[in-house]
Structure 1
Amino acid sequence: MKTILSVLTLLFCSLAISQTSVSGKVVDSNNEPIPGVNILLAGTTQGTISDFDGRFSLTAPMDPPFVLQFSNVGYESQEVRVTSEDQEILVTMMEGTSLDEIVVSASRTPERIFESPVTVERFGIKEITNTPAASFYGGLESLKGVDINTNSLTFQSVNTRGFATFANTRFVQLVDGMDNSSPALNFVLGNLLGMTELDVFSIELLPGASSALYGANAFNGILFMNSKNPFDFPGISAYYKQGWTVQDAAGTNAVYDLGVRVAHKFSDKFAAKANFSYLSGTDWYAVSEEDVLNPGRTRAHPNYDGLNIYGDEVSTNIKGVGDALVAMGRIPAGYENFLPNEQVSRTGYAEEALTDYNAESVKFDAALHYRPFGDDLEISYLGKVGMGTTIYQGANRYSLNDFFLQQHKLQVENENFFARFYITDEDAGDSYDIRFTGINVNRVWKSDQDWFGQYAGAYIQVASQGASSEQSHAAARQFADQGRFVPGTPEFQQAFEQVTTDSDLASGSQFRDGSQLRHADLNYNFTHLTGDFAEIQAGGSFRQYKLNSFGTIFTDYDAPITYSEYGIYAQIQKKLLEERLKLTGSLRYDKSELFEGNVSPRLSVGYTAGDKREHNFRASVQTGFRYPTTQDLFIGLDVGRAILVGSAEENLDRYVRTFPVSGAGAAASGSSEATISGRDAYENSFSLASVQAKDPAAADVDIVKPEKVTAFEVGYRGRMGRVIVDLNAYFNQYKDFISNETVLVPLYGEVGDNSLSLLALQQEDYKAFQTYTNSPADVKSFGASLGLSAKVFGDYDLEGSYTYAEQDFDQASAPDFRTNFNTPKHKVKLSFGNTDLFDNFGFKVNYRWSDTYFWQATFADGQVPAFSVVDAQVSYKIPSIKSILKAGATNIGGDEYFTAYGTGHIGQQYYISLTFNNF
């Protein structure tokens, strides 16, 4: 309340002080207008940006003289002295370097990237225009130290500094200040439901921990996507992109991508905008038949489990089936001895039979902006809706069909503060689990009991006549598979529709979701009050989750699950020694109703050296933390190979299921059924590693708590002759690393107390559970990045970077623990181009190389081979209509590659585009 009163007082006081109006135009050396130039009143955070025509206007709360600072990506910063009221200014900016770029994310206040207290990468309008990637989001892969894992054509996952899967819960993405993570899935779906290309003003990326300013989960990094304000960028712009994807498995397929942006400034007080984009194409086919658990096996093996084959996860010991057949009187006693003591799996369906690989993204947003007191205050409403179809790889492969996400934001801001509130609401649409689709289409045709019974009977019949084991298995499978539904037939399609509209995973594969997230942010910059003493900021946030999966993902069987968290922070920044030394201190406190409070400090120091102030050295130490995700806490999902049960205390007794017990087990335990809860996974289970080592021991699994990291970083940015150098190195030490541990819960007996539980293991009367806990293992990571850029041969741009990343973890100390580091040790990126090779013609070529690395994830583990990729584009500007004609290609060499084990292999993509009125 005190903060609100202070703000209102300042607003009324601002009406009484002197004001000076300034306007003008910003052009380049060819007298062409430069849009998007940052214009700041020196010594304050107040400013504006130039519009499409390079024009700007600004009202300063003071009398002349004063200084305006002009900066933009790729141009040298300038300062202009204003000496009179209503002065008209013409500013000519010369092409400069990346050191002059202005960023906001590192300190929540505008500052040159050169002086940022931590590592920050920027991707602006110029980079978006010149990227050879098929989309601006894919172009982020050119940034130093950035990994992009391609899940599918429309779903790419950004990460930095390792420890990520596609469910990248350690990385935050903010679109106009809104976290656009899925409330239920708890991670960002790339740009599937994000921002349209025409409306992007700037993108900033902070690698590493950022919790001191941005709270929980800003752990590996945070990506900021900022859109164009309709006051500064009015007009109509549009693009159309025609492309083709080429893949060995899928052939050549068309990609259509179009968008339009409409913005209008109705007056100095009111402006509005709307954006629409549509993309349609064919996804990368995933067709690997490699056996997940036993590489080298083929489909001819009785217990084959193919990587992108589904339904073959269902297996049983065929010897036990023979015993059951004898007990039921279906075969004479003694004939079961013809059956081998080995596992046999059902015949599965290839992924391409279970999804159509359509890739689609539809995005629309509209915003209203109101300035009741001119530039002193802005009130805005933003509504965003997105619907998409894509493939997501998590515990299983999922077909996200018509996945719908909407966000609504109300924001009030001026140069010293902002207050925002937004809500995120999602609907899973017609999404389904591809693995369970294969499993249950099989079961619609024939139950597991009948199929294995027929298999065993046929095996006995053939083996008893002297056939070999291989011949007997082949004959048995052929007999059991007679009449199996064939993809493309009406029978198969009917079963497919039945399964994908059924949300009970015992018989179907649909997952439903209507979860919500509510969030509020407040930040106030006190610099205008503290003067030259220091820059001081303070703020806070509040978030509430409402999980509503109707029992298909979470244990919200009867009602939605709600919980909330909040945080407060403060930062002080001080410049000393003729503003060469910059000290920054930040402190944040966060509290969730499920956990104790957490404090996150950050300290950094930067020093600018050299007569021309061209060398900046920085060092920082900060802590980061992340809360366990909604799934870590409240999931209750059987994914086939294991049952996933979250470890929130109230969740342990929510998941309760009844399972059949074997004949021997029923005789020993006195019951043919066993009731198991999630609590049993944490309190009455064997560790998987001990059972595999044939020395069963009780699992020691604690319920999950927040994960923490202490991050140390040093860096240097500067100019050495014609070369710009950007270097950073980091060391991270983790505590309470959130991990999964697979345990085996016996269907009867108490682990460690009697032999009944050991009998359950012998009779395979147990269930595998994946628990969510913290590893006691000592986990560290470290790495470094070096970026170089220079002008060569006149006006040609040459850039390159090298990134090294490594983890320090002793697997033997925690055999059940998986870090999911999932990043190459070495990466190299190069680019060469010229935006003005000759009149209005430009080009750019990007090259990137990634080292081999091992991918760990719930779906599957496997090696990702090294790959090299070349992307290129040529462009031609048409100044008369402010348009750009562009043609490009990605992966020109044509060698298909993948960035995660189990996904479709990435082929080539060609495109040609025309962008109208957007430069």
Structure 2
Amino acid sequence: MKVYLFILTLLFCGVVHAQTTVTGSVTDNTGQPVPGANVKVVGDSAGTVTDDTGKFTLNTSATPPFSIEISSVGYGTKTAQVQSNNQMVSVSLTDQENKLDEIVVSASRTPERVLESPVTIERMSQQAIKATTAASYYDGLENLKEVHFNTSSLSFKSINTRGFSTVANTRFMQLVDGMDNSSPALNFVLGNLIGISELDVANVELLPGASSALYGANAFNGILFMNSKSPFLSEGISTYVKYGQTTQDVAGTNDYWDVGIRAAKKFTRHFAAKANFTFLKATEWIAADTRNVENSNIIDNPDAIGHAANLDYDGLNIYGDEAKTNLKGVGQTLAAMGLLPNPDLVNLLPSVDVSRTGYAEKDMSDNKIQNLKADFSLHFKPWDNDFEIILQSKIGTGNTIYQGANRYYLKNFYMNQNKIELKKDNFFVRFYMTDEDAGDSYDMRFAGLAVNNMWKSNNTWFGEYAGAYIQSTLAGQTPAVSHMIARSVADTGRFLPGSPEFKQALAAASDDPNLQTGSKFIDQSQLWHGDANYNFKNEIKFAEIQVGGSWRQYIMDSQGTIFTDFDGPLKYEEYGAYAQLVKKFMAEERLKLTASVRYDKSQNFDGFFSPRVALGYAAGSNKQHNFRLSYQTGFRNPTTQDQYIGLDLGPTVYALIGSAPDNLSRYTEVRQVSQAGIDAGQPTEVTLDGNLAYNNSYSVQSVREFRNSGDASVLRKANFDLVKPERVQAFEVGYRSVINNDLSVDISGYYNIYNDFLNQVRVLTPLYGTVGTQTGAEAVSRGDLRTFQIYTNTGATVTSFGIGIGLSKKIYRNFELGVNYNHAQFEFDETEDPDFIPGFNTPEHRFKAMLGNDSVVKTAKFQLGFNTNVRWSDEYLWQSTFAEGMIPEVTVFDAQITMGFPTLKSVLKVGGNNLFGEDYLQVVGAGRIGQQWFVGLTINP
């Protein structure tokens, strides 16, 4: 009942204030419309943007007379007087460098200039979107200061800001029209696979730091806001068609298609609607890293590649070769079963591990990616003011590749978001749900294991290998030749990639959700979310005060293939509330204080507060020098996987176990004991659960020391607590200015202190015995151990720091030069937690530059422009649960030429990415990124 009363109160507040409507148009000095220009009431937060034809409609509670301010990137700011309601205003802007005058909302949940933002913020306007050198505006985000990409697939790119990120960046949030774009089950963003079409995107804002004080959990290291156009402001039918080609050493040269259409109509002043449809089709950046892997570490020695060099070879992008066993142990088993004519023949077998012959990743899928996005929305304005009701539905589906603990082919995945929102200039109430279906997705590592077992079981294959090795040795062959002969014999009957038998086996494996025999994973999880915000600007004048809150429920439904939900969906809830005050002081309001605090509570964890305080000071005669100082806090609740995953990645790999207290007993598995253990009186098989993983395990490092020394006294128990939320304290200073009206300067520095940093560690659980006893040590010596990867928090204090410098200047007429540099670094005391794997995954040094001119030629009938970008980053260490290794230094050059035809309302763009460069790597284990060129035609109404 309280919720309904709150909503009614918001509705009442939304209709009691009188409204003034201002309409108009904005053009440049040649008379051409300026789309995406900011129109703002001076001294008030009310504002809007111009549509593609340069027109705008502004509704405000201000009473005439008052002034409005019009600005746009690349133009000087103009002010116009409003003397009456329904006044028509026409403004012509002149060229000028003013990127920092753009209006942003995300930093404080209220409109303000970038120059006055209390924290670091990056923005991509409509003009920047049109000028991007990338094949899509989302890819173009990589050219922003603070942004670093982790590319898992040509269509799946993860944004990394300020470090500690993998492809699964659970420390970064992405909001699309206010909706969290994360997967309910995976808890991270799937790039732009269910985002906004470039025809419909109004602007993009990026906060690279902690933002939990306003936006809650997961706004930990950054948050991206993608906002779409209103059909009330941007009408008509627009479309684009892009064709190009991608070139990669492994995949060759392949076609690239991307098409989209947008239709929007303002039927009356009270009702409007829009629909978007986009479709992308291309060939994947194929992953083909054949380097050997040992405990996730890459072995860079080229001589170590292949079974001729390593009997237990495990190629990074080779699957099925994870199945391995000790050859002497196989002989002992055969002898015990009476399958050797003479038990003494076991002595001919060396005590070495041997792995099966695997399949390359390029053979485990069709390597084709697709992405279809559609969204529909109805917009109602029942009264003659800016109160609006929005009903929206978004759909995303297709094929792509995701890299987590394994490599996953997301085939025919489906994700749907439905929203109802009530909003006005001083409040919003929003409720939405996200529903996903993994479709025909499967784990390619398990697919390789399953296909191998279909043509010959592991027991049979290793048995034939041992038998052939013995016979070859008796025939006088050397060990190396005997191993070659043994593998050839054991591989007899192997399904060859591409053969009908192989295709049939792969289809069967990818359709089998039992990970003991197949590779399909099921995911039909959901997320339900509601949030509201109210700004008391109409009731309180001495300061701007806002309050808000949110509620969320996760429903995990993987039918036991990812989570321990084998007996039905698992659910849990989170909620939070916040308040913020913004107050300006001193003469000319030069000092600005922003203070906010948020309280959050998750069902499985204690609640806590997240404060934020920021001070900004505007110096100079025109307040053009802006200094800022802020203290922010962020937090991240353990994800659904951190709490409830229960995924067996195979007997020779490890199992993932979430640490929610009720999850430990829900996860169970049966493991086989070695023949030596059985001979010592242990049972043939044992049942393990999550409690043993957390409470009866050895640290990996101590087991390594024991194997090197043979001294059981070095064995140590792994002591890790159950997972809890992680927190960060972020200190930031910054300076922004526009100097001499043509040089934009943006400098920032930050220092982060992480507490209870969420961490994944591997532990070794004895199949029998207790840690600290002789029996447990005997299990270690016999190799009767099970590797578990568990979720916990490190006790080590982790810190990171960095600086960012951005400069932009008009160097000649409309030619613009921009450069930016980022330095990022982290520190922690390894002695505090030797098992901690930070996974910073960020270059220490990054440099980016751009040179462009959107109007080299500009007439009433034709406009010619161009843009170029170059990115450089140094070598850095990549760490993840799938693989660890070095990412080499790289330089990437992109360019585009744009030809506009105003009378035809169309733009032709020709561009290329990674021009003149070699294939490069951003994620160890993913495909190298090749070259791409494209030509695109966009037609706007």
Pairwise same-fold verdict (TM > 0.5): yes
Does structure 1 retain, via aligned residues, the 8 Å contact 2:332–2:675? no
Quick one: structure 1 residues 661 and 37, their matched pair in 2 at CA, closer, same or farther if it must change by over 3 Å? same
- Using the TM superposition, give the Cα deviation of residue 61 of structure 1 relative to its aligned residue in structure 2, in angstroms: 3.7
Q: Which residue of 1 aligns with 2:644?
A: 634
What SS class does the counterpart of residue 826 from structure 2 fall into?
strand
After TM superposition, the structure 1 stretch with the greater mean CA deviation from structure 2, 188-197 or 533-542, is 188-197
Q: Which residue of 2 aligns with 1:31?
A: 31
Quick one: structure 1 residues 732 and 555, their matched pair in 2 at CA, closer, same or farther if it must change by over 3 Å? same
**Are 2:920 and 1:897 aligned?**
yes
Q: One-letter code of the match for 2:514?
A: D
- Using the TM superposition, give the Cα deviation of residue 664 of structure 1 relative to its aligned residue in structure 2, in angstroms: 3.0
Partner Cα distance (1:81, 1:914) in 2 = 39
Quick one: structure 1 residues 854 and 329, their matched pair in 2 at CA, closer, same or farther if it must change by over 3 Å? same
What SS class does the counterpart of residue 922 from structure 2 fall into?
coil
Residues 274-318 of structure 1: CA deviation (Å, up to 9, x unaligned): 000000010001111111124321211211111110111111111
What SS class does the counterpart of residue 453 from structure 2 fall into?
helix
Q: Which residue of 2 aligns with 1:461?
A: 471
Partner Cα distance (2:692, 2:477) in 1 = 45
Q: Which residue of 2 aligns with 1:728?
A: 748
2:674 equivalent among 647, 658, 662: 662
Q: Which residue of 2 aligns with 1:356?
A: 366
Please give the residue correspondences for 1:26-105 in structure 2 after superposition, counting only pairs within 5 Å. Answer: 26-96=26-96, 97-105=98-106
2:381 equivalent among 350, 353, 371: 371
- Using the TM superposition, give the Cα deviation of residue 808 of structure 1 relative to its aligned residue in structure 2, in angstroms: 0.7
Partner Cα distance (1:670, 1:73) in 2 = 74
Q: Which residue of 2 aligns with 1:744?
A: 764
After TM superposition, the structure 1 stretch with the greater mean CA deviation from structure 2, 645-654 or 669-678, is 669-678
Q: How big is the alpha-carbon RMSD for the aligned residues of Structure 1 and Structure 2?
A: 1.3
Does structure 1 retain, via aligned residues, the 8 Å contact 2:320–2:359? yes
Please give the residue correspondences for 1:316-331 in structure 2 after superposition, counting only pairs within 5 Å. Answer: 316-331=325-340
What SS class does the counterpart of residue 374 from structure 1 fall into?
coil
- Using the TM superposition, give the Cα deviation of residue 43 of structure 1 relative to its aligned residue in structure 2, in angstroms: 2.9
Residues 130-180 of structure 1: CA deviation (Å, up to 9, x unaligned): 111011110001100100111111001011000000010000000000001
Partner Cα distance (2:458, 2:389) in 1 = 61
Does structure 2 retain, via aligned residues, the 8 Å contact 1:401–1:428? yes
Q: Which residue of 2 aligns with 1:447?
A: 457
**Are 2:838 and 1:829 aligned?**
no
Q: Which residue of 1 aligns with 2:710?
A: none
1:7 equivalent among 1, 6, 10: 10
Does structure 1 retain, via aligned residues, the 8 Å contact 2:7–2:429? no
After TM superposition, the structure 1 stretch with the greater mean CA deviation from structure 2, 783-792 or 761-770, is 761-770
Q: One-letter code of the match for 2:930?
A: G
Q: Which residue of 2 aligns with 1:841?
A: 864
**Are 2:390 and 1:387 aligned?**
no
Partner Cα distance (2:476, 2:456) in 1 = 29
Q: One-letter code of the match for 1:295?
A: D
Partner Cα distance (2:481, 2:63) in 1 = 95
Partner Cα distance (1:701, 1:11) in 2 = 52
After TM superposition, the structure 1 stretch with the greater mean CA deviation from structure 2, 190-199 or 421-430, is 190-199
Q: Which residue of 1 aligns with 2:132?
A: 131
Does structure 1 retain, via aligned residues, the 8 Å contact 2:57–2:233? no
1:887 equivalent among 910, 917, 921: 910
Residues 32-66 of structure 1: CA deviation (Å, up to 9, x unaligned): 11223232333333333323322233344454211
Q: Which residue of 2 aligns with 1:690?
A: 702
Residues 485-517 of structure 1: CA deviation (Å, up to 9, x unaligned): 111111111111111111111100000110000
Please give the residue correspondences for 1:230-269 in structure 2 after superposition, counting only pairs within 5 Å. Answer: 230-269=231-270
- Using the TM superposition, give the Cα deviation of residue 818 of structure 1 relative to its aligned residue in structure 2, in angstroms: 0.3
1:679 equivalent among 668, 671, 691: 691
Partner Cα distance (1:27, 1:312) in 2 = 64
Partner Cα distance (2:268, 2:75) in 1 = 31
Does structure 1 retain, via aligned residues, the 8 Å contact 2:469–2:482? yes
Quick one: structure 1 residues 270 and 322, their matched pair in 2 at CA, closer, same or farther if it must change by over 3 Å? same
**Are 2:322 and 1:313 aligned?**
yes
Q: One-letter code of the match for 2:38?
A: N
Q: One-letter code of the match for 1:304?
A: Y
Does structure 2 retain, via aligned residues, the 8 Å contact 1:73–1:102? no
Q: Which residue of 1 aligns with 2:711?
A: none
What SS class does the counterpart of residue 597 from structure 2 fall into?
strand
Q: Which residue of 1 aligns with 2:935?
A: 912
Partner Cα distance (1:869, 1:496) in 2 = 37
Q: Which residue of 1 aligns with 2:300?
A: 295
Partner Cα distance (1:789, 1:844) in 2 = 14
Does structure 1 retain, via aligned residues, the 8 Å contact 2:47–2:111? no
Does structure 2 retain, via aligned residues, the 8 Å contact 1:789–1:797? yes
**Are 2:209 and 1:202 aligned?**
no
Quick one: structure 1 residues 365 and 352, their matched pair in 2 at CA, closer, same or farther if it must change by over 3 Å? same
Does structure 1 retain, via aligned residues, the 8 Å contact 2:69–2:77? yes
1:878 equivalent among 885, 901, 918: 901
1:803 equivalent among 822, 845, 859: 822
2:801 equivalent among 772, 778, 782: 782
**Are 2:775 and 1:756 aligned?**
yes
Residues 543-568 of structure 1: CA deviation (Å, up to 9, x unaligned): 00000001000000010000000000
- Using the TM superposition, give the Cα deviation of residue 667 of structure 1 relative to its aligned residue in structure 2, in angstroms: 4.2
Residues 861-919 of structure 1: CA deviation (Å, up to 9, x unaligned): 0110000000000010010121100000000013110111111111100100000016x
Partner Cα distance (1:667, 1:486) in 2 = 39
Does structure 1 retain, via aligned residues, the 8 Å contact 2:885–2:924? yes
Partner Cα distance (1:794, 1:85) in 2 = 39
What SS class does the counterpart of residue 698 from structure 1 fall into?
coil
What SS class does the counterpart of residue 595 from structure 2 fall into?
strand
Partner Cα distance (2:142, 2:11) in 1 = 44
What SS class does the counterpart of residue 374 from structure 2 fall into?
strand
Please give the residue correspondences for 1:92-241 in structure 2 after superposition, counting only pairs within 5 Å. Answer: 92-96=92-96, 97-241=98-242
Q: One-letter code of the match for 1:891?
A: N
Partner Cα distance (2:621, 2:847) in 1 = 33
Partner Cα distance (1:545, 1:50) in 2 = 38
- Using the TM superposition, give the Cα deviation of residue 234 of structure 1 relative to its aligned residue in structure 2, in angstroms: 0.6
Q: Which residue of 1 aligns with 2:789?
A: 770
Partner Cα distance (1:268, 1:494) in 2 = 58
- Using the TM superposition, give the Cα deviation of residue 347 of structure 1 relative to its aligned residue in structure 2, in angstroms: 0.5
**Are 2:722 and 1:703 aligned?**
yes
After TM superposition, the structure 1 stretch with the greater mean CA deviation from structure 2, 83-92 or 241-250, is 83-92
Partner Cα distance (1:106, 1:347) in 2 = 54
Q: Which residue of 2 aligns with 1:494?
A: 504
What SS class does the counterpart of residue 105 from structure 1 fall into?
coil
Residues 213-245 of structure 1: CA deviation (Å, up to 9, x unaligned): 000110010000000000000111000000100
- Using the TM superposition, give the Cα deviation of residue 80 of structure 1 relative to its aligned residue in structure 2, in angstroms: 1.4
After TM superposition, the structure 1 stretch with the greater mean CA deviation from structure 2, 373-382 or 250-259, is 373-382
Q: One-letter code of the match for 1:313?
A: E
Partner Cα distance (2:882, 2:13) in 1 = 55
Partner Cα distance (2:752, 2:796) in 1 = 14
Q: Which residue of 2 aligns with 1:716?
A: 735
Partner Cα distance (2:346, 2:115) in 1 = 77
Q: Which residue of 2 aligns with 1:549?
A: 558
Does structure 2 retain, via aligned residues, the 8 Å contact 1:238–1:915? yes
What SS class does the counterpart of residue 256 from structure 1 fall into?
strand
After TM superposition, the score normalised by the length of structure 2 is: 0.96
**Are 2:540 and 1:535 aligned?**
no
Partner Cα distance (1:61, 1:386) in 2 = 38
Runs of 5+ consecutive residues of structure 2 not aligned to the other structure: 707-713
% same residue: 52
Does structure 2 retain, via aligned residues, the 8 Å contact 1:245–1:907? yes
- The count of residues paired between Structure 1 and Structure 2 equals 913
Residues 70-100 of structure 1: CA deviation (Å, up to 9, x unaligned): 2333333322111234432211122331111
**Are 2:344 and 1:334 aligned?**
yes
Q: One-letter code of the match for 2:125?
A: G
Partner Cα distance (2:437, 2:681) in 1 = 44
Please give the residue correspondences for 1:847-858 in structure 2 after superposition, counting only pairs within 5 Å. Answer: 847-858=870-881
- Using the TM superposition, give the Cα deviation of residue 5 of structure 1 relative to its aligned residue in structure 2, in angstroms: 4.7
Partner Cα distance (1:255, 1:141) in 2 = 20
Partner Cα distance (1:21, 1:250) in 2 = 56
Q: Which residue of 1 aligns with 2:573?
A: 564
Does structure 1 retain, via aligned residues, the 8 Å contact 2:36–2:127? no
Partner Cα distance (2:129, 2:598) in 1 = 34
Partner Cα distance (2:284, 2:577) in 1 = 43
Partner Cα distance (1:86, 1:774) in 2 = 59
